[in-house]
Structures are given as C-alpha cells and as structure tokens.
A = this chain, B = another copy of it.
Amino acid sequence: MTERLDRQIAFLNEADKLKTIVRGTTLCDASRYENSAEHSWHLTLYALVLGDQAGPDVDLVRVIKMLILHDLVEIDAGDNPIFGELDHDAIAVEETKAAERIFGLLPYDLNSDLRAIWEEFEAAQTPSAKFAKSLDRFQPPMQNLMSGGGSWMDYKVTEHQIAARVGSKIAIGAPDLWTYAKARISMWFQSSGNA
C-alpha cells in the first residue's frame, strides 16, 4: 500500500512542474503569459460550461479527463505555440518519450489507464477527443480577444492564418464555437486596425 502511494505521490509531485511551463497566450488582463497547468484547469471549466456544444457521441467525463492530462507531456517536451514553426513529427516523438517517462512514474494500472486517455486525445479520432481538441483551440482566441490581441500580435498573424490553423480545428468538434469565434475575431481585426 505504501509503495503504491509513494508512486502516486511521486507522479503528482512531478506533475507540479506543469505550473512552470509557459504558453504563448496571456491571461485576459494581459498581465503575464499563462502556464499550462492553469490553462488545463480553465479548459476543464470550458468543458463544464460548454457541454451543450458537444455532439451526441461525446463522453463529457472522458473529455474532462483528457483536458486534465493533455499537457502533462510538456513537462519534458515544452509547449509549442500554434503560430510558431512546428516540426510535427519531432514533437510527436518528444511527447511520446515524455508520456513514457511521466505516466511511467505511476503504478502499472494507473499508468495504463491515464496514458490511454492521453493517447485518445492525441489521436483525435473519437468524438470525445475531437471535442476536447476543439476546446483546446477555442480558449486561446477567447483570451486574445480580451487581452488586446495576445499571441496574434506576438506572431503577427492574419485573420486568414487564424482560420487555417485554429478555426479549422475548432470546427471539427464544435462548429458553432468556430462560427461564434470567427465573427468576433473578424470584428477585432477590423476595429483594431490589424485587418
């Protein structure tokens, strides 16, 4: 029993490091960049509040579990801002290695259960994973709209680039959220003089 608990706690202590992984998006008040732990919390709240946007085959409990776990691999692999230059194959290799090490701290049964949830999210094939991914892409533009542009300004992106890199992904699992975001992003680009 104590050895099992030791492994559970070792994993939870290691997970604490996610609080130090800085993302490309700022808080709504633009006071600082957000970290991946608080982002993950925010996404679980998105799932609780926007569950009515999920299709009939989505398991919202599974979605919440995915969102709790989805960024843990960044402890080793780092965060990859969506508008940065990305080598998707290299990132996938890094993240798989990270999952091996981090979930491997857990007792066997939990390692297997939680890693399966993370892998389902990564594969983005099930309705639940698609919805979870859509929320993960929908939150940053909502923050940018509040903070005065945020990562759109940092990376000097156009409305068209947002639609291609972000919108297309939101639309897969939550089409109405993309319709909603698109109109507001368009308005923001017009009124801020960045269009």
Residues of B close to A44: CB separation below 8 A: 41, 44, 64, 68
With beta carbons under 8 angstroms apart, the residue of B38, B46, B48, B114 that contacts A41 is B38
Please determine whether A15 and B27 come into contact, CB atoms closer than 8 angstroms. no
Size category of the A interface is: 35 or more
Complex Cα distance, B16 from A31, in Å, reads 12
Does residue A110 face the partner (Cβ distance < 8 Å to B)?
yes
With beta carbons under 8 angstroms apart, the residue of B40, B146, B180 that contacts A16 is B146
Please determine whether B41 and A37 come into contact, CB atoms closer than 8 angstroms. yes
Tell me which of A4-12, A86-94, A148-156, A187-195 binds B. A4-12
Interface mask (A142-163 → B, CB under 8 Å = 1, otherwise 0): 1100100000000000000000
CB-CB contacts below 8 Å: A118-148 with B: 139, 142-143, 146
Complex Cα distance, B32 from A20, in Å, reads 10
Please determine whether B180 and A12 come into contact, CB atoms closer than 8 angstroms. no
CB-CB contacts below 8 Å: A1-56 with B: 1-2, 5, 8-9, 11-13, 15-20, 27-29, 31, 34-35, 37-38, 40-42, 44-46, 48-50
Please determine whether B16 and A27 come into contact, CB atoms closer than 8 angstroms. yes
Residue in chain B with minimal CB distance to A146: B13
Please determine whether A49 and B1 come into contact, CB atoms closer than 8 angstroms. no
Q: By CB atoms of chain B within 10 A, which of A15, A42, A69 has the most? A: A42
With beta carbons under 8 angstroms apart, the residue of B17, B18, B65 that contacts A48 is B65
Residue in chain B with minimal CB distance to A5: B180
A-B contact pairs, 21 of them (CB 8 A): A5-B176, A5-B180, A9-B180, A11-B49, A12-B42, A12-B139, A12-B142, A13-B28, A13-B146, A15-B42, A16-B143, A16-B146, A17-B28, A17-B29, A18-B41, A19-B38, A37-B37, A44-B64, A48-B68, A49-B106, A61-B61
